[in-house]
């Protein structure tokens, strides 16, 4: 058992700002000036512009890139690359798909590499995020210092493979729903710190995003219903407190569907309904609210649910269970 005397001394760890500054009415308290701060991306302006055009915050992407590299180096250097690669060596690395899928995160991978590159580097973009790719297809070629490429390789691939795996899984659902009105939608079951990137990957795969946070929309779930004393009471409480926000209400019976429709719900989450029950709910609602199916959903039954007339299929597995897309970095001499 460790005694107090044997415990290591606490270490001060610097906190890194993640994402955009707080809203203008936020802050630490009276006299705090942090809400007035603005943050500018240190990424190449052209790359930052591409990220922003894709709906990503360049500052947040840069912070994630720094965190990934700092975690991998742990205050040191890439000892293997420093020992085996001449300091002035230059090479080209080809990010190449090892299997077919849908790619996402290429610009994020560029951002990560830009953190480690000690001098200018060249990028050749072969495909774009959202493109379907085949095994053996080049996605991105980067010419830079060989040490830098090898140091940033794993961090860039970790993000690129993860996001491409999510995009690939989402594309399979989007394909299954093609020709119906239904869209596959994600949830907040995301990796802490990577929500914006993972939800971006869903968009690359043809899906749509649910709320990004607890504050941009309300979702009344079973525990809220218990706390409020009923589904209609819970809906009313949220509407009274936040009248301008969209409100989604989770229900698990047709009786509750009637209750929340009468209360004026904007969107109803049909939890664990069968396709037959879902069809009844669609008929009952008759277009008065948006309907989303959740639970019991698989790729095999996705179309059966979609053909009932619901608007969305909520699939948390897109971001919490999708396997990676296998992508590798193939190094070659500059003139090869």
Whether 236 sits among the annotated catalytic residues: the reply is no
Q: Which two tokens stand for residue 314?
A: 């909520």
How is residue 296 written in tokens? Answer: 């019991």
232 contacts 260 by C-beta, under 8 angstroms: yes
Of 132, 154, 236, 258, the catalytic one is 154
Cβ contacts of 59 within 8 Å, gap of 6 or more = 17, 19, 20, 39, 40, 41
| Look-up of token digits 């591409």 | 50
If phi > 0 it is left, if psi is from -120 to 50 it is alpha, else beta; for residue 213 that is beta
Tell me, what DSSP letter sits at residue 36?
G
Identify the active-site residue in 198, 271, 292, 311. 271
Question: Alpha-carbon distance 53 to 203, whole Å?
Answer: 13
Closest CA to 51 of 16, 19, 28: 19
Q: Is 183 a catalytic residue?
A: no
Residues in the chain: 336
Residue 136 near residue 97, CB atoms below 8 Å: yes
Q: Are strands 247-251 and 122-125 parallel, antiparallel or unpaired?
A: unpaired
CA 181 to chain centre: 24
What dihedral angle (degrees, nearest 10) is formed by the CA atoms of 188, 190, 194, 196? -30
The residue from 110, 129, 198, 250 that is catalytic is: 250
Please tell me whether residue 309 adopts helix, strand or coil conformation. Answer: coil
Q: Which helix (H) or strand (E) holds 197?
A: helix 195-204
Is 138 catalytic? The answer is: no
Give the span between the Cα atoms of 217 and 185, in whole angstroms: 15
Find the catalytic residue in 183, 188, 189, 236: 189
Catalytic residue selected from 49, 175, 216, 221: 221
The Cα–Cα gap between 48 and 33 comes to 26
Which active-site residues does the annotation give? Answer: 154, 189, 221, 250, 271
């Amino acid at each position: 058992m460790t005694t107090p005397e044997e415990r290591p001394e606490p270490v001060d760890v610097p906190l890194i700002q993640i994402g955009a500054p707080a809203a203008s009415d936020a802050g630490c308290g009276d006299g705090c000036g942090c809400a007035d701060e603005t943050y500018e991306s240190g990424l190449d302006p052209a790359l930052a512009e591409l990220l922003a055009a894709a709906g990503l915050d360049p500052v947040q992407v840069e912070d994630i890139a720094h965190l990934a590299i700092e975690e991998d180096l742990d205050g040191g250097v890439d000892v293997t690359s420093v020992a085996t690669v001449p300091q002035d060596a230059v090479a080209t690395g080809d990010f190449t798909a090892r299997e077919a899928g849908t790619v996402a995160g290429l610009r994020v991978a560029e951002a990560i590499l830009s953190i480690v590159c000690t001098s200018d580097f060249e990028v050749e973009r072969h495909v774009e995020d959202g493109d379907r790719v085949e095994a053996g297809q080049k996605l991105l070629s980067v010419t830079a210092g060989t040490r830098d490429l090898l140091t940033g390789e794993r961090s860039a691939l970790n993000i690129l493979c993860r996001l491409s795996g999510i995009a690939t899984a989402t594309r399979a659902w989007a394909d299954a729903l093609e020709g119906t009105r239904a869209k596959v939608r994600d949830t907040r079951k995301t990796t802490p710190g990577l929500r914006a990137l993972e939800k971006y990957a869903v968009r690359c795969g043809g899906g749509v995003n649910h709320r990004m946070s607890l504050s941009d929309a309300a979702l009344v779930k079973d525990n809220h219903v218990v706390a409020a004393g009923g589904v209609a009471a819970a809906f009313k409480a949220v509407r009274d407190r936040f009248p301008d926000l969209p409100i989604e209400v989770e229900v698990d019976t047709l009786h509750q569907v009637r209750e929340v429709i009468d209360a004026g719900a904007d969107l109803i989450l049909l939890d664990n309904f069968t396709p037959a029950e879902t069809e009844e709910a669609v008929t009952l609602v008759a277009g008065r609210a948006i309907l989303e199916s959740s639970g019991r959903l698989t790729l095999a039954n996705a179309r059966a649910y979609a053909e009932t007339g619901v608007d969305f299929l909520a699939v948390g597995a897109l971001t919490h269970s999708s396997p990676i897309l296998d992508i590798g970095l193939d190094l070659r001499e500059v003139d090869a």
